[in-house]
Structure 1
Amino acid sequence: MKTQWQQYINILKSVVKPALGCTEPIAVAYASAVAMQMLDGEPEKITVQVSDNLYKNSMGVFVPGTGQIGLRIAASVGAFAGDPLADLQVLENITNTDVEKAQTLIDANNVEVSRIDVDEFIYCLVEIKAGNNIAIVEVSGAHTQVISKKLNGKVVFTKSTATNASTASICDGVDITVEGIYNFAMQAPFADIEFILESARLNSTLADEGLTNDYGLKIGRIIQKSIKDGFMSDDLVSNILMHTSAASDARMGGASLPAMSNYGSGNQGIAATLPVMIMSKHCGHGDDKLARALILSNLVAIYIKSYYPPLSAFCGNTATSSAVAMAMVYLMGGDYKQSCYAIQNVLGDCTGIICDGAKSTCALKVKTTTSSAIYSSMLAINATGTTDQGIIADNVEQTIRNLGKLVTIGMPKTDAIIIDIMSA
């Protein structure tokens, strides 16, 4: 296998992985679980400090298995029952008894959460006291990347942070372009990319949960009801929007089922997967073409997002859905040029969507960007593409760089204002 292709597979396997619950509160739960590895007994006091963006993305989202929102319950239940070996599924085995214990500690005012001014977008420090011992864990740069562990003031583990994770990219040092990804997806042996099909299975299960039970705004279920009531057609577009929204409803509403995430986001993993899977089925394709399409949607999304910070004022579903539009064009029989049109069309449509924290309305944004992906792919398959307008350049690579510049340089002030509004 080409070295370049192996690098692509390594990228996919490192950031397309199962995640139970929104990844920002889960990062705190994970840090708590790691801290408790160094302690005996049960936690008596927990102090949490987090970056502004991690705080923003934890204020309105349910922590799975708890029925509650926020970082205090995430930190507390992570300390009582989190599995530090389970990565982003750290809370997969919690029980009602664990949640009750966690709530008791919160009710006694022994769980404190505050914001801290740090350069990293993803950062949390968790300090836990149990008996006469105090453990401190720092997570920085990625949701489960522990950079420091201390026990009673003594450093027991440290990870080099010479490279600033806020500016480092998973694609650094890799020969990667949209065309390179396209060629890889078209030519790689099926056996080498078959692993990506697990994302379809996992996220389909989450969609079924969202269509069966009430979560969040119930967007998926309401689309389902609207089809039954005759207000919407039972067609390809409606079914894509229904299933994708339902999965996001369930995820943001605290369902105890994992999503296959994309670059630290469960919603973006959902958005990268379900529309592609449903389009593939509609076109009558088997696993081979579905896998190649999922490689496109997931890896192009990662590539685009590598040009800007992991958390920002920009809704990453826009980038993901542009990659989805590319994958849909491929499934409809389009060529590379038409696939690039599809990316350009979505970025020309949805780039203005802001991120104002993780919450139930994320499912609305998933619905909106997924809708754009569908219609953008229809335009592209008919050789219609946005070029040389606004931030959209005359080629897709420059457009992606323009987007990165907009988010990295142009949106920090917007992000600060959003956090200020949310914290008022």
Structure 2
Amino acid sequence: MKKTDTKYQAFIQILREELIPAMGCTEPIALAYAAAIARDTLEAIPERIEVEASGSLIKNVKSVIVPNTQQLKGIPAAVTAGIIAGNAEKELEVIAEVSEEQIQEMKRYLEQTPITVKPLNSGITFDLIIKVYKGTSYSKIRIANYHTNVVLVEKDHNILEQKEINEETEEGLTDRSLLSMEDIWDFSQTVDIEDVRAIIHPQIVCNMEIAEEGIRGDYGANIGSVLLGMGENNVQTRAKAMAAAASDARMNGCELPVVINSGSGNQGITTSVPVIVYARDLKVSEEQMYRALVLANLTTIHQKTPIGRLSAYCGAVSAGVGAGAGIAYLCGGGYREIIHTVVNAVAIVSGMVCDGAKASCAAKIASSVDAGILGYYMYKNGQQFYGGDGLVTKGVEATLKNIGRLGKEGMKETNREIIRIMTEEPC
């Protein structure tokens, strides 16, 4: 692919849009971001807050720890963090810098401030509205379709900023329909590394740093450490363990940033960490590692685009498949090996459900990475799944189209039932 090609520049822009830093699970961080904007618009600390959020967003915030809050969980905690300590200019790193005094202030604010949360049934999977009050004044912020897409800023009945919402289309982002596995492969093999270095390098540094912290520390169920303790000291185990460890830390309050993919830190981790582990084990050149990461990231984005940002379909699956593609390339695979790895891997784990962000995400990540690696080794050993085997059909693009349909349309009722189960009061 030539630099002058429209797709070449589009693919770089897609990577630039998707591979961005975030601290903490991106759904509570989106709430904190909206809350910080609402406070700035109100020009005061609110006395009362009303939150409306789509069911999928509620699901992903319910059980995950909000970083820099001393282990607080849930929508009120995320909103409070944004109100008290948020810097809206930092977007998904909105609460990256929080003092001890602010943490104590958060706790007092939560105790003293009425914060109501209601489901938002707008028909949009990712949707939130925050309305904050001070005396007779109010401000209202809405974010829809993706985590930083502010579509409404309102104060005291005056619209300060508004964007049209066209159902679930991601207005303002580069057209993802340009992506195909053939073009992704071509781009990954021809891109000038200097054109992507500033995008990929932070992913290597940040995501490996939190993976190493996950191994050192005591986070969640410590899936990464458990995997390393099972006695198999090989690159496959280390790839799974390091990715899981990064999620262990991220889901359980670690205050290190992650470079995300498709709106998710766990997807950014799962896509990148196994590839980096393999690259270092195989002692490949820096250029090969960068090309593998370009391939892995764009493969993940390509799969996630038809599914959407939030779904009952676990995003770690797409990311594990992306990692499998990158690993296949590092092991000497060409385009044929890559596409068969992708098809084999999605056949293995598609259907794993997302029941929100929490400690068990790390175990799902390990399973997804394992499927990506197995997908490659199957083909390397002359084995594959064929068209007609379940969701697998003839051709990689047709198979991925089936997976997208499953994740977006087929699992809608599954998502609703998961949300009902998670939000029911325990007996």
TM-score grouping bracket, smaller chain normalisation: over 0.9
Deviates more, 1:70-79 or 1:187-196: 187-196
Q: 1:171–1:303: 8 Å Cα contact kept in structure 2?
A: no
Structure 2 stretches of 5 or more lacking a match? none
- Which residue of structure 2 aligns with residue 191 of structure 1? 194
Q: SS of 1:197's equivalent?
A: helix
Identity among equivalent positions (%) equals 30
Equivalent residue for 1:4?
A: 7
2:34 equivalent to 1:28? no
Local SS of the residue matching 2:178? coil
The structural deviation recorded for 1:42 is: 2.2
Matched, 1:69 2:73: yes
1:127 is paired with a residue whose SS is strand
**Runs in 1 of length 4+ with deviation above 6 angstroms?**
none
In the alignment, which residue of structure 1 is the partner of 2:325?
326
Q: Deviations over 1:181-232 (max 9, x none)?
A: 00000011121122313211110010111112111111112233x1xxxx41
Q: Give 3-state SS (helix, strand or coil) of 2:61's partner.
A: coil
Q: Report the equivalent of 1:176.
A: 179
1:345-365 deviation digits (Å, cap 9, x = unpaired): 111100020011111111110
Measured in 1, the distance between the counterparts of 2:179 and 2:43 equals: 47
**1:164 matches 2:164:** no
AA aligned to 1:49 is E
* Match of residue 218 from structure 1: 222
Alignment pair present for 1:89 and 2:88: no
- CA 63–317 in structure 1, closer or farther in 2 if over 3 Å, else same: same
Do the aligned residues in 2 keep the contact of 1:332 with 1:381 (CA within 8 Å)?
no
Q: Deviations over 1:363-387 (max 9, x none)?
A: 1100110111122222223343222
Change (3 A) 1:415 1:295: same
Per-residue deviation at 1:401? 0.5
Superposed displacement of residue 408, structure 1? 2.0
Alignment-derived partner of residue 42 in structure 1: 45
1:409 pairs with 2:385: no
Partner of residue 248, structure 1: 247
Cα distance between partner residues in 2 of 1:420 and 1:53: 11
User: Is the CA contact 1:329–1:381 (under 8 Å) kept in the aligned structure 2?
Assistant: no
Post-superposition shift, 1:128?
A: 1.3
The aligned amino acid for 2:413 is K
Q: CA RMSD in A?
A: 1.6
Q: Which residue of 2 aligns with 1:390?
A: 390
The 8 Å contact of residues 47 and 113 in structure 2, kept in 1 or not, is answered as no
**What secondary structure, in the 3-state scheme, does the structure 2 residue paired with 1:128 have?**
strand
Unmatched tracts of structure 1, length 5 or more: none
Query: Normalising to structure 1: TM-score of the pair?
Result: 0.95
Corresponding position of 1:139: 143
Going from structure 1 to structure 2, the CA distance change for 1:145 and 1:69 (only over 3 Å counts) comes to same
Q: Deviations over 1:132-159 (max 9, x none)?
A: 4211111111111111111112111111
1:76-109: per-residue Cα shift (whole Å, max 9, x none)?
1101110100011101012222222222222125
Is 1:335 aligned to 2:334, yes or no?
yes
Q: Are positions 1:103 and 2:144 aligned together?
A: no
Does residue 399 of structure 1 match 2:392? no
Report the TM-score, using the length of structure 2 for normalisation.
Answer: 0.94
CA distance 1:335–1:309, shift in 2 (3 Å): same
- Give the match's secondary structure for 2:44: coil
Number of aligned residues: 418
8 Å contact kept, 1:44–1:105: no
- Distance 1:122-1:412 versus aligned 2 partners, 3 A rule: same
2:146–2:170 Cα contact (<8 Å) kept: no
The residue type equivalent to 1:33 in the other structure is: A
Q: Following TM superposition, by how much is the alpha carbon of 1:168 offset from its aligned partner in structure 2, in angstroms?
A: 7.0
**CA deviation vs aligned residue, 1:219-249 (integer Å, no higher than 9, x gap):** 112233x1xxxx4122112211221111000
Contact 1:279–1:328 (8 Å) recurs in 2: yes
Match of 1:315 in 2: 314
Q: Which residue of 2 aligns with 1:356?
A: 355
The one-letter code of the counterpart of 2:36 is: A
Flag the 1:23–1:115 CA change in 2: closer, same or farther, 3 A.
same
Shifted more, 381-390 versus 237-246: the winner is 381-390
* C-alpha distance in structure 1 between counterparts of 2:49 and 2:89, whole Å: 21
How far apart are residue 174 of structure 1 and its match?
4.8
C-alpha separation in 2, matches of 1:297 and 1:94:
34
Q: CA separation of 1:106/1:137 partners in 2, compared to 1, >3 Å: closer, same or farther? A: same
Residue of structure 1 in register with 2:132 after alignment: 128
Please tell me whether the aligned partners of residues 4 and 174 of structure 1 are also in contact (alpha carbons under 8 angstroms): no
Q: Look up the equivalent residue of 2:202 and give its one-letter code.
A: E
**Bigger Cα displacement from structure 2, 382-391 vs 182-191:** 382-391
C-alpha distance in 2 between matches for 1:104 and 1:48 = 19
* 2:156 is equivalent to residue 152 of structure 1: yes
